[in-house]
Amino acid sequence: MTDAEYHANIQRFRRRHWLHFAVQGLLMGSAALLGRGRVAGPRAINPQLATWPMLLALAAVLPLLGVVLYAVARSIRPNLRRPYEENMRLYQSRLIVRNSLLALLGLLPLASFLVTRQPVDLITYAAVLLLLGWRTAPSARAYQQWLLS
């Protein structure tokens, strides 16, 4: 692999990284906006009674999903004996799984939006995703550290 191919692959990883966060953010935000009608608002007669099944389901599924994604991300390991194309594919797979796990952190502002219906919660959700995307953006150094781990 030449140096130009290597840097082209890293740039491709960066583009897919940002695309993944954008698509996942839009899907989760759209699901929250569509599910907004099923959750009782602050003006409901008994909002706790109407909302608890959805929040209980979310609280039960999130840790389980997080553990599964974490286990999958940790199981994706490099091997210097493999061809570089295979290690690059594994790194891309690891990025997708890790980004999916990190995007679960944005569900708290979305759940808050479902209950309070305040637009600041959606803004907070977008800010969380942008911050996570910025802090975890792939780079040549990050790939090399993963490869040597």
Nearest to 76 by CA among 99, 110, 104: 99
Domain ranges within the chain, ordered by starting residue: 3-37+51-148
User: CA-CA distance, 117 to 110, in Å (whole number)?
Assistant: 9
Query: 40: helix, coil or strand?
Result: coil
pLDDT of residue 40: 54
Place of tokens 């150094």: 141
Sign of the torsion angle spanned by Cα atoms 11, 133, 101, 143: positive
Cβ(89)–Cβ(9) under 8 Å?
Answer: no
> Per residue of the chain (149 residues), what is the pLDDT tens digit?
678 888 999 999 999 999 999 999 999 888 878 876 666 555 555 555 456 676 777 778 888 988 999 999 889 999 889 998 899 999 999 999 999 999 888 888 888 887 788 889 889 999 999 999 999 999 999 999 999 88
Phi and psi at 41, nearest 5°, equal: -85, 180
Task: Give the separation between CA 102 and CA 76, rounded to whole angstroms.
Answer: 16
pTM of the model: 0.80
Q: How far apart are CA 17 and CA 99, in angstroms?
A: 8
Which residues, in sequence order, are CB contacts of 29 under 8 Å at separation 6+? 110, 122, 125, 126
